[in-house]
Amino acid sequence: MKTDILIVGSGCAGLYCALNLPEEKDVLVITKAEAECNDSYLAQGGMCMLKDETDYNSFFVDTMRAGHYENDGKSVDIMIRSSQDVVEDLLRYGADFQKDENGELLFTREGAHSEKRIIYREDVTGQEITSTLLEEVRRHRNIRLMEHTTMIDLIAEDNVCYGAVVQLEDGTVTKIEADFVVMATGGIGGLYRHSTNYRHLTGDALAMAIRHGIELKDVDYVQIHPTTFYSKEDNDRSFLISESVRGEGAVLRDKNGNRFVNELLPRDVVTKAILEQMEKDGTEHVWEDLRPIPAEELENHFPNIVEYCRQKGYDVTKECIPVVPAQHYFMGGVKVNHQSRTSMEQLYAVGETACNGVHGKNRLASNSLLESLVFAKRAAQDMMACQDSVKKNLGLIEHLDMGCYEDVETLTRENRRLVKKEIEAAQACARAEQDSEKTEKGE
């Protein structure tokens, strides 16, 4: 199989990257499950946007502060400055965001934001954006979409990528030759007991990077979302109670009904407070009270959250709901530059699987969709700028030993092990550094 550009992943980053490539290019998008089964679809709250120049400084500072100032300032600047362009594209594709009576975009606010700068579609913003992009992709004859197709390995030699080995829906293992490969494989939630992610998202791009010596960055930076609906079922994907809910007035309460934290602090701070309160109370969850939000606004702004809670036996207009922190987002990933290039030639990474430094140590709410789209477009533009210098290796493709891919199940297990080991080692190293610093300070 052969294509000009192979994109691995059908979330908003992969799809938007495909749409920003010229129509004369043959583009193949593969995805592990159904095209709609990605975390982009699950994003509830919204997407940040620079409203006007007066908001630039506070947007920049909010992002940096949430990331504990470990962000890449240039990446943050690129994301903010590119936001209006991305929104214009989405509106042109047909994305339907909330608007006022004059047809102007409405903005909401979430935790750690100093201003209302988040565009949204009820509480299904990710679904609105990603389904719009998917519909647009399906209109393009140059873009092929293959579902239930899994990347098993990269085809690479001397730090140059020439394609990928994949397993098709029928179990067949084959190779795909490509001028460029874009990894948009999403997060790592499938490695965790409590996660808001789809279970099949297990850090595939990280496994490829580890196997091929591709640089990683900040893999110990794993974000825990403070509020997901508490469930006793081990196999349930954690249902996220959007930060927008707290942005609109919801509060957190302990087992006695008392507030114990400022709900609009950054996610990691709120998460820490919840975990400490749970330990203090001897409980498996705390309570989130949505009753400060008018019932009509709850039904209009958060219909899916209201309905989910109703199905679980809770009327959010009359009672609190049980919430618990869960793994939500991966700030680290495959290290990329400002054009989304990895350390391997002809290989790019975009979306949650990439790390360009925008988020720092902790992601600011509703920056994920924006960051994914901005740097996916930059990847597409950079590939076209480099197309005249593409390297070929027909001998490698032709003589690739496919025998080592016969036991895909074992390879998959090993990939998961490699990723978990890498993350745990980085986290252990970070803890050791923190302990050393405390010792030096005499704490």
Catalytic residue list: 267
Cα-to-chain-centroid distance, residue 106: 24
| Alpha helices, DSSP H, located in 220-363 | 243-247, 267-281, 295-301, 303-311
CA dist 217 to 72, 347, 356, Å? 12, 16, 8
Answer yes or no: are the C-beta atoms of 155 and 389 closer than 8 Å.
Answer: no
What is the distance between the alpha carbons of residues 27 and 18, in angstroms, rounded to a whole number? 7
Q: How many other CB atoms are found less than 10 A from the CB of residue 405?
A: 17
**Phi and psi angles of residue 73, each rounded to the nearest 5 degrees, phi first:** -60, -35
Neighbours of 52 (CB within 10 A): 8
Tokens (6 digits) for 27: 């583009």
Contact assessment for residue 16 and residue 376, using Cβ atoms and an 8 Å cutoff: yes
Residue 435 burial (CB count, 10 A): 11
CA distance 129 to 114: 24
Q: Is 203 left (phi over 0), alpha (psi -120 to 50) or beta?
A: left
Q: Read off the tokens for 115.
A: 């201003």
- What residues have CB less than 8 Å from 314, skipping those under 6 apart? 321
HEC string of 107-147 equals CECCCCCCCCCEECCCCCHHHHHHHHHHHHHCCCCCEEEEC
Q: Is 42 in a helix, a strand, or coil? A: helix
